[in-house]
Amino acid sequence: MYWRNNYYKHMHGYDRTELCFYNDVRKMRNISPLIDVIDAMSISKEVFDYWIDFLNKSNADYIAIDSNVRVTEPEAVQAFNEYVGAK
């Protein structure tokens, strides 16, 4: 209960303008609580930027899926290997 009521006291105020939802008021309003918690829990600006980048890439992947972009099997395997760090 403490964190839910007081997380804003622990926020660092990191810049979130790089977030892909930043200029979309409706989406930004919906995702702001998540970004606030990421801000409060990030131990550095680099960690915060990592999560912003992760959300941006995830959104781009969703848009690609939503627009019926087909990924071939070799591309999918390569993307998975890069994601998990395999060689």
On the question of pLDDT at 87 being above 70, the answer is no
pTM of the predicted model, to two decimals? Answer: 0.69
**Structural Rg of the chain based on CA atoms:** 16
pLDDT of amino acid 13:
93
Its sign, for the CA torsion 51, 56, 57, 58, is positive
pLDDT of amino acid 86:
63
Q: Are 41 and 6 in contact (CB under 8 A)?
A: no
pLDDT of amino acid 41:
92
Enumerate the domain spans of the chain: 2-84
